Each structure stands twice: as C-alpha cells, then as structure tokens.
Amino acid sequence: MPAERLRPVALHRRIAVFFAGVQKGGTTTLHEYLRGHPAMSPPHVKELHHFDDEARNWANGADLARLEAAFTGGDAGRLRYDATPIHGFWPPALLRIRAYNPAARLVWIFRDPVARAFSHWRMERARGEETLSFAQAIREGRARIAHEPPLARPLRVHSYVERGFYGQQVANGLALFPRAQHLFLTSEELDANPDATLARLAAFLDIAPFAPGQGLRAHVGVPMPEEAPSPADRALLLGLWRQDLARFSALTGLCSARWLAPG
C-alpha cells in the first residue's frame, strides 16, 4: 500500500523536519546532505537543542523568536530542519515538537547499538566527561543515571546503554505522530548505498532528488582510545537490548539481526 501523503505544513515558517535520532548514528552526514540541497533551509548550527532544553520555562511555549533567529531570512519556499539527534531519546522533546508543529516530519537514522554506545563513550572520554572504562561505564556506571532525577544531566551524558533501546524510542514517537510522518533509516544503508537512501529521504520530504554519486561521509572526530568493546561487553549489551530490538524491527521494518550477531 502506498504511504499516506502528508498534508502541507500549515504553520507559517515553522521548522518542518526534525531529526529524531540516534546520536552517533550518522546524523552529521545526513545534515551535510540536507544542507547542500536547494529545497532545504539549514539552521545556523547543526543542533539547536531547543526542545530538549530543560532550563527553559516550557509553560511559555516554544519561543518562536529564538527559533526564527536560528535560520537565514528570505528562505520562503524551503523546508527548515533541526538536526538535533537527542529528540527521540529525551523524554519530553517529541511531545514539545508536536505542540510546536503537529505536521512535523521525523527522520530517524539508526546504527549498530554496540558501535553507537562505544562511539558515545569515546566522545565523552574526549570531552573529559567520562573517566570510567567502557566496560565499567556500561555496568556499574549506569548507577549514575539511576540515582539522579529523571531529566538530570547524567541521562544526557552517560546514557550509553539507555540510548540503545531503539524500540521504545520508536514506539514513543509513533504514539505522538502518525506513521506517515516518520522515516526510518540505518547508517549502514547510508554508507553502503547512499543514492538509494537519499532517494527515500527525498521522497519522504517531497523534494527533488539528490544529485547521484555524492558519497559523502561526515562525522565528529575524536581521538580513538586503544580500548574496544570486548565479546563480554557485546554479549551483555545485546542481552539487555535483544527483546527491544525485536520490537524495533517489528515497528520499523528494519532488520536488526545483523546487530545481534556476536562480534
């Protein structure tokens, strides 16, 4: 059955497209592709971090002046987008986005969750936010989240395991936005066949096709520690995520079997 056609965004000049996740899953590469497309209007910085900002008084709404200032004027006719990948993970973010623009389209891109967790840990080590080894961080390090209030900073920084529950994040998104407003991609597909993945993205956004053969890959580089996930680390994580990944596959139609294979 063909996908339901999305109604036009009726809310004047509001952001029409949001990345929903996942962090360290290929969102920087997608941003670079979109930034170069003439139908898209990128923000001045890749990640606005507006709808996951707990310092705001959300009783006063979305602060449209602040969001308007994040974009270049004179972009009428182009789709504005926000490439902040925490949206799908941060509990209230998608609810706030729905209140701001219920017609928003959500782009998700997923990655092998073990590789994603390790890349996340590596980034926090490089920033000086993490002192534990990866093995410690995914075991006893989880207590740093459990012992804090629900939206405290450790959930943002040390959520190596928690962000790997892809099925729950997708279920939350589908409860808030119709399925036709979601696009589910994987970084593996984007790397292996960028033209086909970008064709899906262009069709979803109802924009002209991307130029073929771009082969772009972008990432935020950090120093690579010698440590790598051990077989025991991988087995532990996949044991925690196995049931959720089955739910993820059922909800998205994406195959997670290759992620569940022993490393």
| Each residue's pLDDT tens digit, 55-68 | 988 887 777 888 88
Q: Report the relative pairing of strands 105-110 and 79-82 from DSSP bridges.
A: unpaired
pLDDT classification of 40: cutoffs 50, 70, 90: very high
Rounded Cα–Cα distance for residues 238 and 149 (Å): 26
For 178-192, what is the mean pLDDT?
97
Helix (H) or strand (E) holding 242: helix 231-252
Q: What is the CA radius of gyration of the chain?
A: 18
**Three-class DSSP labels, 81-145:** EECCHHHHCCCCHHHHHHHHCCCCEEEEEECCHHHHHHHHHHHHHHHCCCCCCHHHHCCHHHHHH
- Domains, the chain, ranges and CATH? 17-254 (3.40.50.300)
Confidence at residue 78, expressed as pLDDT on a 0 to 100 scale: 95
| Each residue's pLDDT tens digit, 142-155 | 999 999 999 999 99
Predicted confidence (pLDDT) at residue 226 exceeds the cutoff of 90? no
Rounded Cα–Cα distance for residues 77 and 75 (Å): 6
Confidence at residue 215, expressed as pLDDT on a 0 to 100 scale: 62
Mean pLDDT, the chain, integer: 90
For 191-199, what is the mean pLDDT?
95
Rounded Cα–Cα distance for residues 71 and 218 (Å): 22
Rounded Cα–Cα distance for residues 260 and 16 (Å): 34
- φ and ψ at residue 71, rounded to 5 degrees: -125, 155
| Each residue's pLDDT tens digit, 227-244 | 789 999 999 999 999 999
Rounded Cα–Cα distance for residues 106 and 184 (Å): 9
Helix (H) or strand (E) holding 205: helix 194-205
State pTM to two decimals: 0.90
Predicted confidence (pLDDT) at residue 8 exceeds the cutoff of 50? no
pLDDT classification of 202: cutoffs 50, 70, 90: very high
Collapse the DSSP code of 53 into the 3-class scheme (helix H, G, I; strand E, B; otherwise coil) and give the result.
coil
From 120, 103, 136, select the one nearest 205 (Cα to Cα): 103
Rounded Cα–Cα distance for residues 163 and 21 (Å): 9
Confidence at residue 33, expressed as pLDDT on a 0 to 100 scale: 95
